[in-house]
A and B are shown apart, each in its own frame.
Chain A
Amino acid sequence: MGAETLSLASTAPWWAWPLALFVVCFFLGIIAVPAGVGGGVLFVPIVAGFFPFHLDFVRGAGLLVALSGALAAAPKLLDNGLANLRLALPLALVASASSIGGAMLGLALPANAVQVALGIAILGIVAVMVSVKNSEFPRVERPDRLSQALGMYGVFRDGATGREVSWQVHRTPLGLFLFVGIGVLAGLFGLGAGWANLPVLNLVMGVPLKVSAGTSGFILSLVDSSAAWIYLNQGAVLPIIAAPSVIGMMLGARIGARLLQVVRASLIRRLVIGLLLFAGARSLVKGLGIWA
């Protein structure tokens, strides 16, 4: 913990930090929705970098922030067919199993090592967000045999155009392999992994963008559940950190969803990328002990 943070932590009344956490999460919730990112990816680096909490509790709370958002959205996504169980379940199975390994690894490694790795991961996420251009309706010439065996195909009704779009997937073995890695990262850093789910579903497996986005949110609800249990059972969930974070983020997200209709999403997205760059760099230098 840095000298200035330590000094502030020792002089501020105990309630100031949870209150500050609630306010910060409320604003993160507002910008997360229009920027198209889950709350966890913003929450973990920012709170780990600027609050006096141990990284164990920040990652535990980060998972819960991501989990709550995913759980709240999943019923609607399942009902309107934008999340697809056939597509999601096999991918969620490998990712949730590997997220357990990631969570155990994260709790076994020294906090500084995780902090450095978190900084690198966040900077990598920024690179993915800046460079990846998703495709609305990717072309899948021939579905692979595994996807056919697993029943990974379907039809969805595009609300914007009113037309029905049938879809199928390819490169399923590669997709499953990548979801193993996504699960490890989600458990290790306590990040919701929507930033990775979406490009893998859309660009690697060829799932239409809207189905990718909906299914990604649903997959998070299973992946983060298994990792959250590991944190909960290891004492890495502190109610005073987790509860205001979840409540603040969910309230903020309600405003963010309304804001989506009136602000330019690209502007908010640039703001989020700037925030992530700053928070990722902060995690890196904090972990390396350069700017503690």
Chain B
Amino acid sequence: MSRPADGMEAQRRYGALLAWGTRLGLGLLVLGFVLYMTGLVAAQMPIEQLPEYWSQPAPELLRRTGMHPGWGWAALLPKSDMLTLAAIGLLAGCSIACLLAVIPVFARAKERVLASVCVLEVLVLVLAASGVLTGAH
């Protein structure tokens, strides 16, 4: 079997995009958390009431705060605690953009198997992110 190209173009493209996504996500996480802690922007879950929630299971938190599972948190933006969750979504989602960016590189190099693996991985991540899968208590 002939050896394919070393794949460094795909690696570098993936790495560069991931670095930006991570920086953006972590920056937004810090910003959202500062806004949340300082009260500069209103929050969905008042900070003083959190000790009542954090010892309860997740579904109970959703019930008490009137939030919905799935992407319900996104509807509550730009509340500061939801901004923090959006940052977390960005961190958990930035790999999708990276995978999409390397699919054409693998396709050009006629590496169909790797391109297909990338497509499948994107589908797995999109399925996880979609909010249709539930497993609550």
How far apart are the CA atoms of A148 and B73 in the complex, in Å?
44
**Which residues of the partner chain B approach A77 to less than 8 Å between Cβ atoms?**
15
A81 with B125: CB separation less than 8 A: no
| Interface residues on chain A, number (Cβ under 8 Å) | 77
A110 with B135: CB separation less than 8 A: no
A234 with B121: CB separation less than 8 A: no
B121 with A241: CB separation less than 8 A: no
**Which residues of the partner chain A approach B93 to less than 8 Å between Cβ atoms?**
225, 229
Within 8 A of A (CB), among B47-96: 47-48, 50-51, 53-59, 61-62, 67, 69-71, 73, 81, 84-85, 88-89, 91-95
**B87 to A, closest residue via Cβ:** A243
**Which residues of the partner chain B approach A227 to less than 8 Å between Cβ atoms?**
128
B11 with A81: CB separation less than 8 A: yes
**A148 to B, closest residue via Cβ:** B1
A229 with B125: CB separation less than 8 A: yes
**Which residues of the partner chain B approach A240 to less than 8 Å between Cβ atoms?**
36, 47, 50, 54, 81
A54 with B121: CB separation less than 8 A: no
**Which residues of the partner chain A approach B89 to less than 8 Å between Cβ atoms?**
229, 232
B26 with A108: CB separation less than 8 A: no
**Which residues of the partner chain B approach A78 to less than 8 Å between Cβ atoms?**
11-12, 14-15, 18
How far apart are the CA atoms of A100 and B120 in the complex, in Å?
14
Asked if A285 is an interface residue, CB under 8 A from chain B, the answer is no
B32 with A68: CB separation less than 8 A: no
| Total CB contacts across the A-B interface at under 8 A | 210
A237 with B85: CB separation less than 8 A: yes
A225 with B51: CB separation less than 8 A: no
A85 with B91: CB separation less than 8 A: no
**B70 to A, closest residue via Cβ:** A233
A85 with B7: CB separation less than 8 A: yes
Stretch of A87-95, A118-126, A134-142 contacting B (4+ beta carbons < 8 Å): A87-95
Stretch of A29-37, A149-157, A191-199, A267-275 contacting B (4+ beta carbons < 8 Å): A149-157
Residue picked from B50, B124, B136, most chain A C-beta under 10 Å:
B124
**Which residues of the partner chain B approach A68 to less than 8 Å between Cβ atoms?**
22, 26, 91
A54 with B55: CB separation less than 8 A: yes
How far apart are the CA atoms of A222 and B99 in the complex, in Å?
10
A residues sitting closer than 8 Å to B (CB atoms) are 1, 9-10, 14-15, 17, 52-54, 56-57, 60, 64, 67-68, 71-72, 74-79, 81, 83-86, 89-90, 92-93, 96-97, 100, 103-111, 148-151, 153-155, 221-222, 224-244, 246-247, 250
